Structure 1
Amino acid sequence: MKRTFTGRWHARNVRRMRLELRHLRAVCTIADTGSVSKAASVLGIAQPALTAQLQRIESTLGAPLFERDRRGVRPTQLGQLVLERARVVLPAVDGLQEEASRIAEQERAVPRYRVGSVNGPFLSGLVQRLTEAEPQAEVITQVSWSAKELAEVVFEGGADFALIGTCGDADAPSERPLTWTTLALDPVFVLLAESHPLAGRSEVALAELADSRWAVTPGDGCFGDCFARECARAGFSPRAVYEVDVASCVGMAQDGQAVVLCQATFRYTPGLVVMPLAGAPLSWRHQLGWRPGSVSPDLVERLSGHALHAYRESVGRNDRYESWLIEHPEFGPQR
């Protein structure tokens, strides 16, 4: 009786987790890359988290899905079965979502904008533009520091558009087949306390800030590497780089604790100066992404127009950047 009870309890416990599409995508990615670590990088999650997820999947199914050796992982017989079924199910579900989105868009009498955004100059102004220009529209927003996460949300149908930023000439996330267009290109400026010895200058060279501590908001991509590279070119290595939220960045700059790397459209804040870096060594590309076929070209055009209008308004609130753009016409709106 005790053995039977234990067996029944264990079965009920295992069945508490049901396989989801994300589990199937994770298994396919591990098989395609041949490595849990490589799959974790592609999926944009930590390797321990993916390993734990795989263990839960295997526990649910009752046997290992992969054999592990020095060369990576190879599917077991059960793994082959799961992969065969997953490669049928996932495209079918993707196709269903695409068709459903297209039909829903056509049948929807009220336009709907579901927008995911990273920290940038667009979102608040975009919401204001949409609600004023199309008061009947349904506007849904979500934010994340991760461009990869937002791309995944759009691909999975959780949002219609992603507003992201990428460093310099870096590409938008490519793990999912989204369509991307560049809305604007900004230089990266620095945020200094008004009491800073260089605050009265029209611009400052990166090398003049060699002794500074730095602060920046979170984000994925290559910005940290690009910053380190430009510092090396300027002849120094940063003393410290703090990754903190926007409010903490502002506080650290006001207190003189750090120089903050910021977007050129950063709105004026008492006690602070937004300062151009000489030669614009760092830049930030604002991009809009959507899943092909999931939204109409007319909806893309309307949202792009509203986003660009919001961006121009953010530029107009920063006299220093507005003047700087006159001398640097390659920056600013790109459409």
Structure 2
Amino acid sequence: MRHLRALCAIADHGSVHKAARQLGVTQPSLTTQLGRIERALGGRLFTRERTGSRPTPFGLSVLSRARPIVAEMSALISEARDALGVGGGSRLRIGSTGNRAVPGWLRRLHARLPETDTTIRIDVSPSALLQMVADRQLDVAFVHEVAGCPLQVPEGLEQRVLMEREPQFVALPATHPAARKEEVSLTDLAEDRWMVDPNVDGEWAGLRRVFTAAGLRLQVAHGDYLAGADLVAAGEVVAPAQPTSRARPGLVIRPLAGDPLTVRLVMATRLPLPDAPEGGTDFGAVFADLQDAYREVAWGSPSYRQWLAHHDSPLLHVPAA
């Protein structure tokens, strides 16, 4: 089963590196494991290309048999745990890409569902989280989809849209000439190197798309955004930033003129979507908690609150009690 999960992860992510990250193993160990599987089966399962790993015809045949087995085993484990009451009560397994609304979301869920064992898994890959929902490893996922780079959503998932179009701002050094502006343009940053995490689905492609459309050359530095914040503050790079992001010493957050970079924020769960079934989870309330948490952090960002007001966003209106 471990081998089958590894094969599905490589195929889903299109990369041994990304699959290893999702599986919680090192890339060399996963490469070694793949080699053992291929020798045992007697054929190559993936072609190694510059852009990643692609299943061979033989690999597609193996994957067509492996996926149902993995899904059934995941469902069996989940149902067995539920039947045995593992954890001492009901469970709610949440996944999310990094977002400042997550802590407030969890706080609301813990307050409303004190007897529920609510867990969180953070992953930079929206695709990995959606697949985990489809495989019953998660109950719900809060993810983003980069505009122009649609995610491949597994069958059997229901999506609720939190924000159809969230603008992406930019983090830049406080010493940058454009930092004095209330709003910056891509041309203001055309000579800068942009920090991009290659493991975030659609991030690099989306940024490259808008730079190409603007007739500008994109200069990229690959890395993760946690380390990237220090590089921004040091004046080495600029980086896309969520509009709810906070400034820090040496780093400022500014809107991008014309909103060239946007994402779609959605919450996904499996079908059928049960709103308050007997003895089950009220996913409508789970989504409402997410909306409230997102509204809270949006209101806490003056520049984003101004953007929302300019676009007459529903987030500015408090729902009736």
Q: TM-score, normalised by structure 2?
A: 0.75
CA contact (8 A) 2:171 2:241 kept: yes
State which drifts further: 306-315 or 261-270. Answer: 261-270
Task: Name which of 300, 310, 315 aligns with 1:327.
Answer: 310
Contact 1:267 1:317 in 2 (8 A): no
TM-superposed CA distance for 1:59, in Å, is 5.1
Q: What displacement does 1:327 show?
A: 1.0
Alignment of 1:191-206 (within 5 A): 191-206=171-186
The one-letter code of the counterpart of 2:100 is P
Q: Trace 1:114-263 onto structure 2 (pairs within 5 A).
A: 114-168=93-147, 170-175=149-154, 177-184=156-163, 185-246=165-226, 248-263=227-242
In structure 2, C-alpha distance between the alignment counterparts of 1:259 and 1:252, rounded to whole Å:
8
Q: Is the aligned partner of 1:64 residue 2:45?
A: no
Distance 1:115 1:67 in 2: 32
The sequence identity of aligned pairs, in percent, is 26
SS across alignment from 2:219: coil
Deviation at 1:268, TM superposition (A): 3.4
The alpha carbon displacement at 1:272 in A equals 2.7
SS in 1 for 2:247: coil
The Cα of 1:213 is off from its aligned counterpart by 1.6
Tell me which amino acid in the other structure corresponds to 2:150: D
Aligned counterpart, 2:51: none
SS at match of 2:188: helix
Residue in 2 that maps onto 1:8: none
Aligned alpha-carbon RMSD (Å) = 3.9
What CA deviation, in whole Å up to 9, does each residue of 1:301-326 have, x standing for no partner?
A: 12111111110111011011101111
Between the aligned partners of 2:215 and 2:205, the Cα distance in structure 1 is 15
Q: How does 1:46-57 map to 2 (within 5 A)?
A: 46=16, 53=33, 55-57=35-37
Partner of 2:294: 311
Which secondary structure does the structure 1 equivalent of 2:231 belong to? helix
How far 1:52 sits from its partner (Å)? Answer: 5.3
**Aligned-pair distance for 1:276?**
0.7
Could you say what secondary structure the match of 1:211 adopts? coil
> Structure 2 CA distance, aligned partners of 1:169 and 1:73?
29
Shift of 1:116: 1.2
Note the residue ranges of structure 1 that are not aligned, 5 or more in a row: 1-19, 30-38
Task: Return the letter of the residue paired with 2:144.
Answer: G
**Residues 155 and 100 of structure 1, relative CA distance in 2, 3 Å threshold:** farther
Residue 23 (structure 1) aligned with residue 4 (structure 2)? yes
Q: What secondary structure is seen at the aligned counterpart in 1 of 2:287?
A: helix
Where do 5+ consecutive residues of structure 2 fail to align? 18-26, 47-55, 277-281
8 Å CA contact retained: 1:154, 1:162 = yes
| CA deviation after TM superposition for structure 1 residue 115, in Å | 0.8
Amino acid at match of 1:135: P
* Secondary structure at 2:179 match in 1: coil
Secondary structure of 2:180 counterpart: coil
- Matching residue's letter, 2:15: I
Cα distance between partner residues in 1 of 2:66 and 2:179: 58
CA contact (8 A) 2:197 2:203 kept: no
* Aligned 8 A contact 2:157 2:270 in 1: yes
Tell me the number of residue pairs that the alignment of Structure 1 and Structure 2 aligns. Answer: 294
Distance in structure 1 (CA, Å) of the matches to 2:268 and 2:284: 12
C-alpha separation between the residues in 2 aligned to 1:272 and 1:288?
A: 30
**Deviation string for 1:236-265 (max 9, x for gaps)?**
21233332232x222222222211211111
Any conservation in 1 of the 2:198–2:222 contact (CA below 8 Å)? no
Query: Structure 1 residues 84 and 323, CA, compared in 2 at 3 Å: closer, same or farther?
Result: closer
TM-score (norm 1): 0.72
Shifted more, 89-98 versus 214-223: the winner is 89-98
State which drifts further: 271-280 or 47-56.
Answer: 47-56
Whether the 8 Å contact between 2:95 and 2:140 is mirrored in structure 1 is yes
Corresponding residue to 2:284 among 296, 301, 313: 301
SS of the residue aligned with 2:131?
helix
Partner of 1:17: none
